[in-house]
Amino acid sequence: MSRLHQYVGGEHLRQDAPDKVTGEAIYVGDMAFPGMLWGRFKSSPIASGRILRIDTARARALPGVRAVLTGEELDHQLGLYMADKRILARGVVRYQGDPVAAVAAESEAMASEACNLIEVEYEPLPAVLDVEQAIEPGAPLVHPDLGSYRYMKGVFHPQPGSNVAHHQKIRRGDLEKGFAEAHRVFETSFWNPAVPHVPLETHVVIARALSGDRVDLWTAAQSPFTVRHLMAAGFGIPHNNIRVRIPYVGGGFGGKAGINLEPLATMLSKATGGRPVKIVATREEEFNTLPSRQGLKSRIKAGVTREGKLTALEVRYLWDAGAHADYGVNIGRAAATAGAGPYFVPAVKVDSLVVYTNKVFGTAFRGFGHLEVLWGIERNLDMMAHALGIDPFEMRQRNFLTPGEPTITGEIFTANHGRPDLCLKTVADAIGWSERPREDHPPKRPAPIGGKRRGYGIASLHKSPAMPVYTSCSCILKFNEDASVNLLISGVDYGQGTYTALAGIAAQELSIPVEKVHVTWDCDTATQPYDWQTVASRFAVMGGNAVIAAARDCLDQLKAVAAQVLHAPVEDLVCENEEVYVRKDPGARLHYRQLVIGYSFPNGSSIGGPVIGRGRYIAQGLTHLDPETGQGRNALNWTYGAHGVVIEVDTETGDIDVLKIASCMDAGKVLHLAAARTQVEGGVIQGLGSALIEGFKFDESGRLLNPSFVDFKIPTAKDLPREASQHFIETPQLDGPHGARGIGEHPMIAIPSAIGNAIYDALGIQIHELPLNAERVFLALKHAQPNDAARP
Amino acid sequence: MEHPIKLTVNGQAWEGSVLPDLTLLRFVRETLALTGTKEGCGIGECGACTVLLDGRPVNACMVLAVEADGCALRTIEGEAKAGKLSRLQQAFVAHHAVQCGFCTPGVIMSAQALLERAPAPSDEAIVEAVAGNLCRCTGYASILKAVRSCTPHGRTGGER
Amino acid sequence: MQSFSYEKPGSTAAIVARLAEAGGTARLLAGGTDLIGQIRSRLVKPSLVLDLKGARELALLGADASGLSIGAAVILNRLLEERAVSEGPYRALTQAVSELASYNIRNRATLVGNVTNASPCADSVPPLVVLDARAEIAGPSGTRELPVLELISGVRETRLGPGELVTRIRVPAPAPGTWSGFLKRKRVRGHDLALANVALLRDPERGRLRMSVGSCNPVPVLLDLDAMFARPEVERAVALALERVRPIDDVRASIEYRREMVAVMVRRLFAEAPRS
Ligand SMILES: Cc1cc2nc3c(=O)[nH]c(=O)nc-3n(C[C@H](O)[C@H](O)[C@H](O)COP(=O)(O)OP(=O)(O)OC[C@H]3O[C@@H](n4cnc5c(N)ncnc54)[C@H](O)[C@@H]3O)c2cc1C
Ligand code: FES
Ligand code: FES
C-alpha cells in the first residue's frame, strides 16, 4: 500500500510562488516607515589614498539633511573571521568605491544631492592591484595594522607586515618522493577574475537605532543570526538588543552573507535620534562598493605515472581578496581543502594565500572558491591526460578517491561519501562522450581559422560546506487549531527552494498534507529559532535534520496525550494521515485536530495543550585544521558531481555555441525534484556566465571599468545552451535527512572547466584565463596560428 | 512645476499631478504604492521594472511619469483578478519558474503582453519577448516553459 | 534626477518655437531611452525637456513606392511590425532594428532618436547610410534636408542648428533587385551595444556597392565600392575598410579584435550578398 503524504523527492509547489507572481511579496525595498529617512553614501574615486580633508559643511547646510557621517566619527572595526573593515573609511581609502561619508535626508534626491556636496581631498597612494606584486617584499601594504585586528584564532593565520590575510597550508605525504616517482611532471598556471554576484535586488536595509543601545533592522541578508551576531560584536552590545527581520530577499548567491550596509544605516539612524533610515544600493554601488567573488591565480605542479595516476601535487593559490578579507580568508581556507579535486593524491602541498589588494573586496559566492580552484585543477588534469595520450574520462576514473583512501586533509573516503565516478559517467553518457568524433579532435596543431568546430569537454567537481565546527540549526513546528502547522526556521530562502523541501519533510514526518505546512517566510531573530548562516549548501542537510527532530517531537507530544485518551501504551500508537490510532485496534483513533491545542473529554475536563515541536542539529565530528599540515576534518559532507558539454566554436569570431550541457550531482537523496532541477538549471547558467561572459575589468589605476549593466553582462534568455539535462545520483549520506546532501552551489562549479576542456578538444589550444569570451578565444587561436601576424 | 496627468491604472482612473523628473517607475512604486514592480538597475537594462503602457511592455525606469498621461497603465498587481491568478501566473507557479521572485513581475508583464499580441508565439518569439528581463536565479528554462505552456502548442506538447 | 521643466507642444512649429526660445538649455525627448539615462548620470543638464510626442505629424510612418518616411516619434518596434517596412527592400535597416536593445526598449526608442543621439555605435546608422537615408530638419528658418551621415558630426554631436529638430527620416525605396544586409558583433546574444557593426548594400540597377562601418570611428564610415561592383573583391573591401576604421581599446573590446571582427563581418556580408 502506498503511504499517504510522501513528499520527499516530490514536486509539490513552492509556497512563495503565489506571493511572487502577483507582486504581493514584500522585499525590504518595498517597505517604508513613518518618519523614514533615506541614507546614501559617497565613495572613493581612487583605489588607494590618504584622506586629507572631508568638508561636509555644504551637505549639512542643505535643507532636509538630518545627518552626515564620516569615518572619523565611527570607531567600529567589523568582521566575522577577520575584523578588517570599518563602516566608513578612516584615514585612508582602500579601493575605488570605498565609502567615505554618508548622509541621511528626508528624500533620496536630497541625500544624493548632499553626497554630491561633500568635498573630499585625497593624497593618492601607490595602489597594489596584482596579487603577485602584493606578496613581494616591500609591496605597499593595504592594511599596515593587520597585526592589531581581531580575527578567529586557531582557524586563520594572518601575516602582519604583509598583504597576506590568511595562509592555509595543507601538507600530506612525501612530496619529493611523489615527484621522483612521477613519469612526468607538469607545471602550469591559471587565472580567474573577480566576478560579482548580481542578485537582481541590490543590497537594501532599513535601520532604527533605539534608546538603550537597541537596534531594529529590516535587511536583505542571507543570515539573520549572523547579522545580529556581527552587529553585537561590532557595536559591543548584547545580542538581545538587536532585532533582525528579513522578509523576501531578491537573490543572494553569497553576496548577502554577513553584514554589509546594516552598520552604516544603524549609525545614520542613531545620528538622527532614531529615525528609520533606509539605504538602497544603486546597481553601480552593488558593483563598485559591495563585495564580489575574489579573483584567483593558481600555480599547479603535478606529477603523474605513465598510466596517469597522480603521484604528487604542489599548488599555490593566490586569492585576490581586494581591500577586505573578512570572508575571503574562509574561502582561501575552505577551497584549499578541495584544492586537489576529488582525487586521491599520495603527496600534496597546498599553499593558499588570501592576499589584500586595492580593489573591491571579495566574499562568499555560490561555490565558495571551488569554481576558481577547479578551473585550474580540472583543466590541468585534461592537459596531462592529453600529453600522456590518455582519455580525459579514463584519466579521472583512474584517480578518483575510492573507499579507504584519504582526502588531502586526511579524511577517509568511504562508500557513503558519494560517487564522483558515476557522476562523471552519467554526464559522459549524456553528451555521447565515447562516440565523440576523434578524427582531428583535439587537433595536433591549433585549428586553422575558418568555419566552425565542435568540441567535447568534461569536468568533475566536489565541495563540502565551509563552516565553523560548531555550526548549528534549530526549528520550531507549532500546530494551529485546524491541525496545520507553522514551520519556523531561520535559513533564509532567497529562492533556492529549501523551504519548499523542508515543508515536504515536515509534512511527511507528521503525515499531513504539505499544504498544511506553512513555512514562516519572514525571518525575525526575536521570534524564530537560531540558525548559523544560509551559506555553503548546508541548510537542506542541517535544516532537514532539525525539521525531522521537531516533527518527531510533535508526534511524541501527540501520542502522549492520545495514549491517555485511547488508553493505549505510547508504543502501540501510530500517527498517519493526520490521525493517531492504536495499531491493534485501528477503530480507536483521534484526529490531530482533537489533540493539537489540547484534548477535551466529553465531560469537559481537558489534558495536553498546544503542541509545539522543537528540533535542532549541530555539525558533528568536525575539527579545526592543523595550522602546519591542514590535516583535520572540516567537511560535514562532500557533494560530488560532474559536467559534460558539447560546444561549437566559430573559429572566425571566437563565439561559443553551447549545444549541450549535462550536469550530474550525487545528491544523496533528492529532497524535492523540481527545486533540485531548477537549482541546477539556474546554477548552470550562472556557471556559463562565469565561463563565457563575466569578469571585472580594472584600469591601471584600479578603477573598475564595468560597474553597470551596460558593460557588465550576464546571460539573458538568448544566451542559453541549446540543450541542458540534469541528472542525480543518490548515494545516501548517512547523517543527511533521508540521506540528502546540499546541491545548491554545485551546479555552477565545473562549468568553466568543462568548457575550457571542450575548447581544447575543438581547437587544440589551451586557454588559462577566464572568461572564455569570443574575443579571448579568437585572439588565442589567432596568435597560435603558425603564420600569426599575416592577418589584419 | 507639477503637471496634472490622467491615466488608468489597472483599469481604474487615476488623476493627480507629478513632477516632470519623476520616472514612471517611481510613480508606480511610490506615488501609487504598487511595489510589485521592481527596480534592478534604473537604466533600462534589467527589465525588473516592466509595466504595460497601452498594452506595450516598457521599462518604467526609462519613462517619465508625465509621459503616461492619457495612457492605460498595467502593473503586476492587476494581473490576478478577484484573487485568482491569471493563467500565466498559474503557469509560473506550476513550472517552478520563480526563485527569488525579484525579476518575476517584470518577466510576467513582458510575457503577458506577448501572449496578448500573439496568442501562438513561436519559441523564438517567446525568447525575444523576455530577453530584456534579466533573471539571475532560474537560468530561464522554467520561465520559457511556463510561457510556452500558455500557448496552443505548449498546451498540447506538455513537458519538454 | 536633476530637475527640469517639461512641455509637450502640439505641433512641430510649436516645438521649434520653444526650442529657439529656450536656447541651448532645452532637450528634445523622443523615447527617452538615451536622454533619461543621460540626465540621470548628469551627462546633460537640461532646464527644459520638450516632449515631441505631442506633435501628431511626428508619429506618422509612411511607406509607399517612393520609400519610407519615419517620423521622429515612431518607435522602433513599429518598423518591425509594419509589413511594408519589415518585408520591404530595407533588410539592413530592419535587421539592425531587430538587434537594437531589447524588445521592451524598442517600444519606446525611436529611429530618429538613435540617429540624433549620435552615438558612434548606433546600430541604425550604417544601414541608413548605405540606404541613402536623409534627415528632414525643421527649424526657425524653415525645413532642410541632410544625408544622415552629414547630420552626425562627432561623438554625440550633430549639425543641427539652434532651434532645429529632425522631423523625419526618409529612406528612398532602393532600386529593384537591391540587396542589403547588416551584421553586428556584441558580447552576448542578448541586448548589448555593438563592438562593431557593418551594413552592405548592393544595387544592381545602378551598379552600386556601398558599405558602412559603425562603432569604430566617432562617426560611422562610408565606403563607396562601386568600382568593384562588377567583380567584387572581398579582401580588397576588407583592406579598404581596415584602412578607414580607427577603433579604440576599451572595456568592450580591443582594437585588434574590433578590426578582426570588421574584417569577418565584411567577408560574411560579401558572401551573403547575391552575385548577380
Ligand atoms: C538597455 C538599452 C539598450 C540599448 N541598446 C542599444 C543598441 O543595441 N544599439 C543602439 O544603437 N542603441 C541602443 N540603446 C540606445 C537607445 O535605445 C537608442 O539610441 C534609441 O534609439 C534612442 O531613441 P530615443 O527615442 O529613446 O531617443 P531619446 O533618448 O529620446 O533621444 C536621444 C537624443 O536625441 C535627441 N533627440 C531626440 N529626438 C530628436 C529629434 N527629433 N531631433 C533632434 N534631436 C532629437 C535627444 O534630445 C537626445 O539627446 C540602448 C539603450 C538602452 C537603455
Ligand atoms: S530597473 Fe528598469 S530596466 Fe532595470
Ligand atoms: S527569480 Fe531571482 S532573478 Fe529571477
C56 pLDDT band (50/70/90 cuts)?
very high
Residue A247 and residue A117 in one domain? yes
Average pLDDT estimate for A272-285? 98
Average pLDDT estimate for A649-670? 97
Bigger pLDDT: A491 or A642? A642
Joined together, the cell numbers standing for residue A222 give 542571507
Residues with C-beta less than 6 Å from any ligand 2 atom: B 39-42, 44-49, 59, 61
Q: How many domains does chain B have?
A: 2
The CA–CA distances, whole Å, from A153 to A149, A362, A419, A707 equal 11, 21, 35, 35
φ, ψ at A47 (rounded to 5°): -80, -30
Collect all residues from B whose CB is shorter than 8 A from any CB in C. 1, 3, 19-21, 23, 42-45, 47, 50, 53, 56-59, 61-64, 66-67, 110, 128-129, 131-133
Residue in the structure block whose three cell numbers are 557621517: A69
Question: Ligand 1: distance of its center to the CA of C37 in Å?
Answer: 10
φ, ψ at C227 (rounded to 5°): -60, -30
Query: Is A562 a residue whose pLDDT tops 90?
Result: yes
Joined together, the cell numbers standing for residue A4 give 499517504
Mutate to test the pocket of ligand 3, among B103, B108, B130, B144 (most ligand atoms within 8 A of CB): B103
Of the listed ranges A584-588, A649-653, B20-24, the least confidently predicted one is A584-588
B36 is a domain residue? yes
Considering only the beta carbons, identify the residue of C238, C256, C264 that sits closest to A652: C264
Distance of CA C197 to the CA centre of its chain: 12
Residues 193-222 of C with CB under 8 A from A: 193
Joined together, the cell numbers standing for residue C203 give 544595387
Spatial contact of A741 and A711, defined as CB atoms under 8 Å apart: no
Question: Ligand 2: distance of its center to the CA of A499 in Å?
Answer: 29
Q: Which atom of ligand 1 is nearest to the CA of C29?
A: 30
A 10 A CB-CB count for C256 gives 17
Average pLDDT estimate for A371-394? 97
Residue A533 and residue A550 in one domain? yes
The Cα A559–Cα A556 span in angstroms is 5
Average pLDDT estimate for C47-71? 97
Residue A609 and residue A654 in one domain? no
Q: Which pLDDT belongs to residue A537? A: 60
Cβ–Cβ gap C191/B50 under 8 Å: no
Residue B10 and residue B56 in one domain? yes
Considering only the beta carbons, identify the residue of B48, B101, B128 that sits closest to A248: B101
The nearest alpha carbon in chain C to B126 belongs to C103
Residue B107 and residue B132 in one domain? yes
B21 is a domain residue? yes
- In sequence order, which residues have a C-beta less than 8 Å from that of residue A758 and are 6 or more positions away? A455, A456, A457, A645, A646, A647
Q: Does the beta carbon of C223 sit less than 6 angstroms from any atom of ligand 1? A: no
Query: Is C247 a residue whose pLDDT tops 60?
Result: yes
**Structural domain that includes position A633:** 295-467+623-783
Q: Whose CA is nearest to atom 4 of ligand 3?
A: B135
* Domain stop point among A271, A288, A305: A288
Q: Which pLDDT belongs to residue A535? A: 59
The Cα A532–Cα A471 span in angstroms is 6
Handedness of CA A526, A531, A536, A540 (dihedral sign): negative
Which three-class secondary structure state does DSSP give residue A55?
A: strand
How are beta strands A612-618 and A606-610 bridged, if at all?
A: unpaired
Q: Which pLDDT belongs to residue C78? A: 98
The Cα A338–Cα C218 span in angstroms is 50
High-pLDDT (> 90) share of chain C, %? 97
Q: Which pLDDT belongs to residue B159? A: 40
Residue B110 and residue B138 in one domain? yes
Average pLDDT estimate for A482-502? 91
Q: Which pLDDT belongs to residue A239? A: 97
The Cα A93–Cα A68 span in angstroms is 18
B160 pLDDT band (50/70/90 cuts)?
very low
B160 is a domain residue? no
What is the dotted CATH code of the domain comprising C59-172? 3.30.465.10
Residue B11 and residue B33 in one domain? yes
Residue B143 C-alpha, separation from nearest chain C C-alpha, in angstroms: 16
Dihedral-angle region of residue A720 (phi above 0 means left; psi in -120 to 50 means alpha; beta otherwise): beta
Average pLDDT estimate for A708-714? 97
**pLDDT tens digit sequence for B33-72:** 999 999 999 999 999 999 999 999 999 999 999 999 999 9
Q: Does the beta carbon of A200 sit less than 6 angstroms from any atom of ligand 3? A: yes
Buried b or exposed e, range A434-465, using 16+ CB within 10 angstroms? eeeeeeebbbeebbebeeebbbbbbbbbbbbb
B159 is a domain residue? no
Query: Is C138 a residue whose pLDDT tops 60?
Result: yes
User: Of the candidates B36, B27, B48, which has an alpha carbon nearest to the alpha carbon of residue A21?
Assistant: B36
One DSSP character per residue, A545-603 reads HHHHHHHHHHHHHHHHHHHHHHT--GGGEEEETTEEEETTEEEEEEEHHHHTEEEE-TT
**pLDDT tens digit sequence for A161-195:** 999 999 999 999 999 999 999 999 999 999 999 99
Buried b or exposed e, range A625-658, using 16+ CB within 10 angstroms? beeeebbbbbbbbbbbbbbbbbbbbbbbbbbbeb
Query: Is A201 a residue whose pLDDT tops 70?
Result: yes
Length of chain B in terms of residues written? 160
A509 is a domain residue? yes
The Cα A759–Cα C189 span in angstroms is 19
The Cα A780–Cα A648 span in angstroms is 16
Beta strands in A604-723 (DSSP E): 606-610, 612-618, 639-650, 656-666
Q: Which pLDDT belongs to residue A498? A: 87
Query: Is A788 a residue whose pLDDT tops 80?
Result: no
C159 in contact with B, Cβ within 8 Å? no
Which three-class secondary structure state does DSSP give residue C260?
A: helix
φ, ψ at C103 (rounded to 5°): -55, -45
| Residue A55 burial by Cβ neighbours in a 10 Å radius (0-12, 13-18, 19+) | middle
In one letter, which amino acid is C58? L
Average pLDDT estimate for A281-302? 97
Query: Is C1 a residue whose pLDDT tops 90?
Result: no
Residue B119 and residue B95 in one domain? yes
C189 in contact with A, Cβ within 8 Å? yes
Residue A640 and residue A769 in one domain? yes
* Domain stop point among B52, B78, B104: B78
Dihedral-angle region of residue C67 (phi above 0 means left; psi in -120 to 50 means alpha; beta otherwise): left
Residue B7 and residue B73 in one domain? yes
How are beta strands A452-463 and A347-356 bridged, if at all?
A: unpaired
Buried b or exposed e, range A1-30, using 16+ CB within 10 angstroms? eeeebebbbbebebbbbbbbbbbebbbbbb
* Domain stop point among A566, A593, A618: A618
Contacts of A773 in chain C (CB under 8 A): 187
Mutate to test the pocket of ligand 3, among B99, B130, B143, B147 (most ligand atoms within 8 A of CB): B99
A788 is a domain residue? no
Q: Does the beta carbon of C29 sit less than 6 angstroms from any atom of ligand 1? A: yes
Question: Ligand 1: distance of its center to the CA of C50 in Å?
Answer: 15
Question: Ligand 2: distance of its center to the CA of A786 in Å?
Answer: 47
Dihedral-angle region of residue C225 (phi above 0 means left; psi in -120 to 50 means alpha; beta otherwise): alpha
Query: Is A761 a residue whose pLDDT tops 80?
Result: yes
Q: Which pLDDT belongs to residue A1? A: 35
Q: How many domains does chain A have?
A: 3
In one letter, which amino acid is A317? Y
Average pLDDT estimate for A461-484? 89
Q: Which pLDDT belongs to residue A534? A: 65
Residue B66 and residue B93 in one domain? no
User: Of the candidates A446, A372, A375, which has an alpha carbon nearest to the alpha carbon of residue A755?
Assistant: A375
Contacts of B131 in chain C (CB under 8 A): 102-103, 190-191
B77 pLDDT band (50/70/90 cuts)?
very high
Residue A646 and residue A744 in one domain? yes
**Structural domain that includes position B108:** 87-154
Residue A630 and residue A733 in one domain? yes
Q: Which pLDDT belongs to residue A577? A: 95
Strands, sheet with B3-9, edge to edge from the N-terminal-most edge strand = B12-18, B3-9, B72-74, B50-53, B56-59
The Cα C221–Cα C149 span in angstroms is 9
**pLDDT tens digit sequence for A202-254:** 999 999 999 999 999 999 999 899 999 999 999 999 999 999 999 999 999 99
Q: Is the pTM of this model over 0.95?
A: yes
The Cα A743–Cα A680 span in angstroms is 8
C193 in contact with B, Cβ within 8 Å? no
The Cα A40–Cα A269 span in angstroms is 12
Q: Residue A173 carries which DSSP code?
A: S
Average pLDDT estimate for A27-32? 98
The Cα B87–Cα A747 span in angstroms is 31
A240 is a domain residue? yes
Residue B66 and residue B100 in one domain? no
Residue A604 and residue A720 in one domain? no
Show me where the domains of chain C are located.
5-54, 59-172, 179-272
What is the dotted CATH code of the domain comprising C5-54? 3.30.43.10
Q: Which pLDDT belongs to residue A531? A: 84
Residue A604 and residue A677 in one domain? no
Of the listed ranges A55-59, A599-603, A733-737, C222-226, the least confidently predicted one is A733-737
A742 pLDDT band (50/70/90 cuts)?
confident
Question: Ligand 2: distance of its center to the CA of C188 in Å?
Answer: 18
CATH number at residue A603: 3.30.365.10
Domain C5-54 and domain C59-172, same fold? Reply is no
Average pLDDT estimate for A262-281? 98
Q: Which pLDDT belongs to residue A792? A: 44
Query: Is A600 a residue whose pLDDT tops 60?
Result: yes
Average pLDDT estimate for B128-136? 98
The Cα C40–Cα C35 span in angstroms is 9
Which chains have 3+ CB pairs within 8 A of C? A, B
Residue A694 and residue A596 in one domain? no
Residues 478-537 of A with CB under 8 A from B: 494-497
φ, ψ at A83 (rounded to 5°): -80, 80
Of the listed ranges A741-745, C140-144, C178-182, the least confidently predicted one is A741-745
* Domain stop point among A603, A618, A633: A618
Residue in the structure block whose three cell numbers are 513599429: C78
Residue A638 and residue A613 in one domain? no
The nearest alpha carbon in chain C to A716 belongs to C190
Average pLDDT estimate for A125-151? 96
Considering only the beta carbons, identify the residue of C187, C191, C259 that sits closest to A792: C259
Tell me what the pLDDT averaged over chain A comes to.
95
Nearest ligand to the CA atom of C32: 1
One DSSP character per residue, C221-237 reads EEEE-GGGSSS--HHHH
Is the domain defined by C179-272 classed in CATH 3.50.50.60? Answer: no
The Cα A266–Cα A780 span in angstroms is 50
Question: Ligand 2: distance of its center to the CA of C102 in Å?
Answer: 12
Joined together, the cell numbers standing for residue C75 give 518607435
The Cα C50–Cα C71 span in angstroms is 16
